[in-house]
Each structure stands twice: as C-alpha cells, then as structure tokens.
Structure 1
Amino acid sequence: MALVPVSGQTAEQIFAAQKYTQEKIASNMFSALNKCHEKKMLPTTKLPGVTIQKLWSYAFENNTPFMGRYHESRRETNLVVGPWEYAADRGSGYRVVSLTTLVEVPRSGTPTPLNEAHRFAYIVTPEKKLLLVLHISSNTPEVPAGGTFRTEAILEFTADTAESDCSVTIFGNCKKMSLAFAAIQYIATPRAIREMTAAYKAMIEMLSKELCNGQITVIPASNEGDSTAAEAGGTVADSAADGSGGSQQEMAFQGFLLLLALLVTLVLLLSLSSLRSLARYSRVIAEGPAHRGPASNGSFPSSVGEDESLMYAAQESQLQSLRTRWLDQRTTITNLERSLSHYWWYNAFLTIAMVSLFAKVFFFS
C-alpha cells in the first residue's frame, strides 16, 4: 500500500501528535529526534535503483518476507511483527515487534526477549524533498539493568522525488528510563551503539544484495572526521566506522567525569576521617566539666565515706588523664582548625565538580 507524504509539518511535529492505542507502545519510549542525531551509526548511503516507496514495500510494509529473512540471518527467533496502525493520511503510523535475540550479557549468546516499538513519519521537507523517518525503540527487560534504558535507532530515507533513488542515514541513541542508568551508561551506551551498528549494517548489506545487486554508493559524513569521498560500489563496512569517531570525545569527557567523581569520593572519605577525630576530641573537652570532683580547694568533703573517697579519687585520676591527652593533642587540633578555616575553596571546587557531573549525567547524557 502506497505511502503519502505530509506537507507543512516536520517529523517531530507528527510524532508529537501521534496517539497510541496499543498497550505495548507509548510516547515515553521515544526520545526527541535531535537527541538521537548525536550519534551517527551509518553515514548517508545511496541505494541505487531503489525509491522510498519500493524500499518501504519490500522491507517494512506489513507481512514482508524480508523481515523474517533478516532476523533469521541474525539467529533471532520467535518473531512477531504487528500490523501498522496507519494515520488517516497514510503519512505516519506505528506498530510493535517482539522476538528473541542473542545478547552478550550476562554471557555470550544468551537468548533473551526483545520488544520493539516502531513509528514512522513521511514528509515533504521545506526543500521539497521527500523524507521518511523510521524510529525504532527497543528494550530487553530480562537483561540485567535492561529496564533502566531503551536503545533507539533513527533510519532516515531521503530522495529528491518519488521516482528518485533514495539514500539512508542511520543514527543511534540510548534513552534513560530511570536514574539507575547513570551508573552503567558509560559501559552500556558504547556496547549498545556497537551492537546496533552491526545489526543495521547487516540490514543495509542485505538490502543492497537483494535490491541493488550488491552495489552501494557510500557518502561518508564530512563533519565527523571521516574521509572526504567514496567511490560507487563501496561496501557498508567502509561507512560503518564513520559514525563511531563522533562520540569518542564525548565518551572521553564522560570517563573523565566518572574518574573525577571517584576522586572526589575518596577525598571526602579522607576528610570525614579527620573530621571524626576532631569531633571526638571536642566531645572529650565538652564532657570534662560534667565529672564531679573534689572541692575547689582540692580536699574531699569531711562527710564522705571510704567508698565515696575512692570514687572521687578515680574521677580525679580520669580528669588528669583527659587533661594530659588534651595537652598532647592540642597541637593536632590547632592544625585541623587551621585547615578547616581554608576549606572554603575546597568546598567551592567540590560544588562545581558535582554540579557539572550531575548536569552531564542526568540532563545531557
């Protein structure tokens, strides 16, 4: 069934207006498109002889054999592809897909359920070109910490006209579903991007083999440190590495923040140890006057008995011991107090570091 491009709206606007009636799909499963564009997995790759409609009918329409062959090639089983819920204008829609895939956690080749939510928007861009955006959000709930995030892929198919050859660009992202993901995102995100890159590389290679006779024109992205040109007939392997360089600086920065957090934690533990020692000595000083002792002239009351005299003597001995310890530790306490008086710059540094870390992890990750 033919798709109809929508004019006057962006893909983001169409997605924002979508209403989901199925229980297995919701708007919070998807990130904003601009966030998904931060990590390019496969650069723009031209599919010669393939229009957007031909590609849709062959690979993504309801009941296409291609989906079964693709997942079978990846040794994925129990595939259930739900029907598309098309909008009235045939320019957008959504569906759910479930299957059993193989993951590397907790051990290599572990089968686990994979749930996918698909949505698409087909629009006419302001430049009067055609753009088909396919947004896929996946989740592996039985993988350790799998419920804390979702992996996302954006497949963008562009063409000058309905009869023109189309090109595909694929982006990846990890959507944080809970704050617990912050503890594993530095490990989970690179692994997820790497696995998705391999999966969609295999998909484009299969489409090239079946629709383009194995001929693919690769156009590497020029803004991510990639090569400047590629000849027609190149392989997707040439372009698969292009998207990996763009996130290296970001991952290095995130690793630096993690190292900084560990350093700050260690320094705080050492500081707390010193503060505990200071608090202990302060408590000893504060408790000293509470002990009852002999009269101010150093003599015991005449009315006390032998037992009370022994108790007073023991208390006096304890007070003398505490005074001796206080004199011995007075220099140490003075140094600690002097150090604490200069801690304002240290507190300022910790505050700036922790605010930067939390802002990066919870708002810009």
Structure 2
Amino acid sequence: MYLKYVQENEQSALRAHSSSLQGVRRISSIPEENLATAKTLQPFIKEDVISEIFNDVFPCLAEQFFKLLLDDASTFTSEYRRTRKDSNLTMGPWHASDEFDGQVREIKFRTLCNSPMCPPDTAMTEWQHAVTSPDKKKLVFETVQQAHDVPFGSYFEIHCKWSLESTSTAPSSASMNIKVGVHFKKWCVMQSKIRSSAVNEYKKEMEIMLELARKYVTDDGVQTGPGIKKGIETPTITGM
C-alpha cells in the first residue's frame, strides 16, 4: 500500500511539473511534423474512477470548441471563473509536454466552498490536457483539480474528461460526453462523503460552464465568438 501511495504522488508530481511553466516548450516552437507523430507517454487521468454525468450534442465543432473556449486567446475561462465568483485566477499558456500527448497547461484560483466542513474558500490548482485527432474531428479535454485548504485535500484529486466528436448529422455541432470522478491518492475515512460531495459540486460547475459555453458559441456565431481575437489560429494538437 505504501508503494502505491508513493507511485500516486510521483504521478501527481509529474503532471504538475509537466503542466507548469517550468521547462515550457511552447507549441509554436515545435515543428508540425513532430506533433503529428507524437505518442502518448502517460495517461493524464485515472479512467477507472470517472463515470458519465453528461451526454448530449453541443452547438459547435470539436475544433471550434478548443478555439472559442480553451485557446490562450479566449476569455472564456476568466469569465466562467468570474461568474462562479472565483478569484485570484492565474493561467499558464498551453504548451507541449514530454510526458503527455497533445498540450497541457496549469491554472490556479481561489474558489468558494459550500460544505460546512470546509473553510469559506480554498486555493485550487487545475491541470488541463487537450488532444485532438489528426483530422481535428475529435477533441479530448481532461482536467485534474487539487484543493489545497480543505480537510484531506492532499488525499484526493477530482478527475474529469470531456470528449467531443464533430457530427455529420447536424451542421456545426459535436457530440459531447462528460465524465467525472474522484481519485484518492491515499485512503481516508471520509472517502465516500468526499466522493459524493465532489461529484455533486462538479455537476453544478458543469451546468454553469455549459450555459456560458453555449452563449459563447452562439452569440456571434461559432466562427467569431466573444473573447476571440480574429486571425488567431488554433494550435495543432494531435495524438488521438
């Protein structure tokens, strides 16, 4: 059990180092032919802990989802965090990683806590990972959240996976599947309660995020949504 705990901490440390600005390899400096042949070296999340919480159609293509909502030029994340009344947001740039396929980045913020067992707010770190298929019709967006000031916060992480695939049945739309779960790096007596509370809280976050995301891609059309600088090309992310 101790060995497993050490391995879990090592994987978390690897993810944090890869997603941070330390040793950044910006995507723009990497030859496109190298990106096209990239291979997955490490899984970013624990697939065995996540379960489906959403499955529907989203009103933009998978490639447009990244450009409008996740690209460095987009203001979506800032507006989403502001809508949730989060504060102290800092965002690193998307960059290539030696450990994970596609691109990674790190964001930090303070978020309000709704549990009576927690302080009024907590510092959060979220590591993000994005990878598209070579034809850009599929996008996988994964996140790992670590709460720093809540009880047992160092024991667990919230893992989430958004999968989008552009559809041929409806123009400018993609099927969307969202899965979330809690990965425990170390056993604790509160596991069941923490898991239930964290998943329920993420479902609330997802509803706000999807409502704002739909507004982003439909207000001015999916080609030039709000917060997007015209002329900015979507970075190529490959490896699916």
TM-score (norm 2): 0.67
Taking the aligned partners of 1:52 and 1:80, their CA distance within structure 2 comes to 25
Contact 1:121 1:133 (C-alpha < 8 Å) held by counterparts: yes
Contact 2:53 2:179 in 1 (8 A): yes
Distance 1:156 1:79, change over 3 A: same
Aligned equivalent of 1:132, options 130, 139, 147 = 139
- How far apart, in 1, do the equivalents of 2:132 and 2:93 lie? 17
Structure with greater Cα Rg: 1
In structure 2, the gaps of 5 or more residues are 1-26, 220-240
Q: What's the CA shift for 1:174?
A: 0.5
Contact 1:102 1:110 in 2 (8 A): yes
Identity rate, percent? 18
Return the alpha-carbon distance in structure 1 between the equivalents of residues 114 and 58 of structure 2: 32
Q: Which has the higher strand share?
A: 2
Over 3 Å counting, the alpha-carbon distance change for 1:108 and 1:184 in structure 2 is closer
TM-score by length of 1: 0.45
Report the Cα offset of residue 101 of structure 1.
0.1
Asked if the contact 2:61–2:166 (Cα under 8 Å) also holds between the matched residues in 1, the reply is yes
Instruction: Map 1:160-309 to 2 at 5 A.
Output: 160=167, 164-180=172-188, 183-212=189-218
Give the CA RMSD over aligned residues.
2.9
Alignment counterpart, residue 46 of structure 1, candidates 57, 77, 99: 57
Q: CA deviation at 1:63?
A: 3.8
Q: Separation in 2 of the partners of 1:53 and 1:113?
A: 31
Contact preservation (8 Å) 1:47, 1:212: no
Aligned length: 184
Q: Which of 119, 133, 152 matches 1:123?
A: 133
The letter for the 1-side match of 2:176 is: V
Paired with 1:47 and 1:160, the residues of 2 have a C-alpha distance of: 10
Match for residue 80 of structure 2 among 52, 67, 70: 70
Is the contact between residue 119 and residue 149 of structure 2 (CA under 8 Å) also seen in structure 1? no
Taking the aligned partners of 1:87 and 1:179, their CA distance within structure 2 comes to 30
- Counterparts of 1:164 and 1:36 in 2: how far apart (Å)? 32
Counterpart position of 1:82: 92
- Indicate if the aligned counterparts of 1:51 and 1:164 stay in contact, CA closer than 8 A: yes
Task: Rate the CA distance shift 1:166–1:87 in 2: closer, same or farther, 3 A.
Answer: farther
Paired position in structure 2 for 1:32: 46
Per-residue Cα deviation, 1:94-135 (whole angstroms, up to 9, x for no partner) = 0111000011234577111011111122125xxx88321111
Which residue does 1:266 correspond to in 2?
Answer: none
User: How many Å apart are 1:62 and its aligned residue?
Assistant: 0.9
Structure 2 contact 62–136 (Cα < 8 Å) conserved: no
Distance 2:211 2:140 in 1: 19
Give the Å deviation of 1:40: 1.1
